Amino acid sequence: MRPATSRHTALRLGGRLAIGPALATLLALGACTGGRNAAPSRQFDIDAFLRAPDTTLAEVLTNADFLAATAASARDCATMLQSERSGVLEELPGAARGDAWLLRPTGQPGRVWLVTQRRGGERGCHGPLPADAVGALVSRASG
């Protein structure tokens, strides 16, 4: 049996998923770990990348280093997306064919998650991210 890690935490109560606590755990751990998936010799500065004046939403959606550094596990992502209580899912402007959304978690106004759709229809969750920085990128993409 594999021990639970911060990337693969899912709480179970009586055989049912406890979505709220699991999402809160993800948000807290994500806020503390920043570039947790980046190689130690090459940390990815998520905040600086998102706040750079020349960063575009399209670049955020396609930057492999950013996506790797902010990726939640497939299991945690599925848990978030399957719960009505997780938050509000909004379509991003200019996202081609609807393959990117923004998840605004309930009770976490300062944080958002980027939800992407990969080839084959699998969705990926990236975050938590600072809502103000992502909001600025969305505003620039809207024109």
Question: Does pTM top 0.95 for this prediction?
Answer: no
pLDDT digits (tens, 9 = 90+) for 127-143: 999 999 999 999 998 87
Say yes or no to pLDDT of 80 above 50: yes
Whether the CB-CB separation of 142 and 93 falls below 8 Å is answered with yes
Q: What is the structure's pLDDT at 95?
A: 61
Q: How far apart are CA 108 and CA 103, in angstroms?
A: 11
Q: How far apart are CA 48 and CA 27, in angstroms?
A: 19
Q: What is the structure's pLDDT at 97?
A: 52
pLDDT digits (tens, 9 = 90+) for 22-52: 444 444 444 444 444 444 446 899 999 999 9
Whether the CB-CB separation of 113 and 105 falls below 8 Å is answered with yes
Q: What is the structure's pLDDT at 142?
A: 85
Cβ contacts of 133 within 8 Å, gap of 6 or more: 47, 50, 51
Q: Tell me the torsion sign for CA atoms 99, 24, 72, 110.
A: positive
Q: Indicate the average pLDDT of the chain.
A: 76
